[in-house]
Structure 1
Amino acid sequence: MRITVFGAAGNVGSRVVTEALTRGHDVTAVVRDPARFGELHPEATHRAGDAGVPEHIAELSAGQDLVVNATRPAPGHENQHAAVSRALLDGLARAGGDVRLMIVGGAGSLTVPGKEAPGKGGGVLAIDDPAFVPTAWRHIALASNEQFDAVRTADTEVDWTYVSPSALLEPGVRTGVYRLGADELIVDAEGNSSISMEDLAVALLDEAERPKHHRARFTVGY
Structure 2
Amino acid sequence: MARIIVLGGTGYAGRHIVTEAVSRGHAVISISRSAPADPVAGAAYLQGSALDLAPLADAFVGTDAVVSALSPRGDMADRALEALSNVVEQLAGTDTRLGVVGGAGGSLVAPGGPRLFDQGFPEEYKHEAQVGIDSLALLEATDAGLDWFFIHPAEVFGPWAEGERTGHYRDGGDVIVRDAEGKSYISGADFAVAVVDEIEQGNHHRERFTVGY
Partner of 1:118: none
1:179 aligns with 2:170: yes
Partner of 2:128: 140
Tell me the CA shift for residue 182 of structure 1: 1.6
- Alpha carbons of structure 1 residues 201 and 56: separation in structure 2 relative to 1, 3 Å: farther
Q: Find the aligned partners of 1:179 and 1:37 in 2 and give their Cα distance.
A: 31
For residue 19 of structure 2, give the secondary structure of its aligned residue in structure 1: helix
Q: Could you tell me which amino acid in structure 2 is paired with residue 92 of structure 1?
A: L
Q: Find the aligned partners of 1:217 and 1:45 in 2 and give their Cα distance.
A: 28
| 1:39-58 aligned within 5 A | 39-56=38-55, 58=57
Structure 1: runs of 5+ lacking an equivalent:
115-121
Tell me the CA shift for residue 29 of structure 1: 1.3
Alpha-carbon displacement from aligned partner over 1:20-41 (angstroms, at most 9, x marks no partner) = 11101111111113xx144321
Q: Find the aligned partners of 1:23 and 1:44 in 2 and give their Cα distance.
A: 12
Partner of 2:204: 213
Tell me the CA shift for residue 56 of structure 1: 4.7
Q: Find the aligned partners of 1:221 and 1:139 in 2 and give their Cα distance.
A: 23
Tell me the CA shift for residue 156 of structure 1: 5.2
Tell me the CA shift for residue 100 of structure 1: 0.9
Alpha-carbon displacement from aligned partner over 1:31-81 (angstroms, at most 9, x marks no partner) = 113xx1443213211112212334256432111111111110223642322
- Alpha carbons of structure 1 residues 217 and 57: separation in structure 2 relative to 1, 3 Å: farther
Structure 2: runs of 5+ lacking an equivalent:
none
For residue 195 of structure 1, give the secondary structure of its aligned residue in structure 2: coil
- Identical columns (%): 37
Report the TM-score when normalising by structure 2: 0.90
Partner of 1:126: 116
| 1:40-189 aligned within 5 A | 40-56=39-55, 58-75=57-74, 77-93=76-92, 96-113=93-110, 123-130=113-120, 133-155=121-143, 157-170=145-158, 171-189=162-180
Tell me the CA shift for residue 125 of structure 1: 1.1
Tell me the CA shift for residue 85 of structure 1: 1.7
Greater strand content: 1
- For these two proteins, the number of residue pairs brought into alignment is 209
- Alpha carbons of structure 1 residues 68 and 13: separation in structure 2 relative to 1, 3 Å: same
Report the TM-score when normalising by structure 1: 0.87
1:195 aligns with 2:186: yes
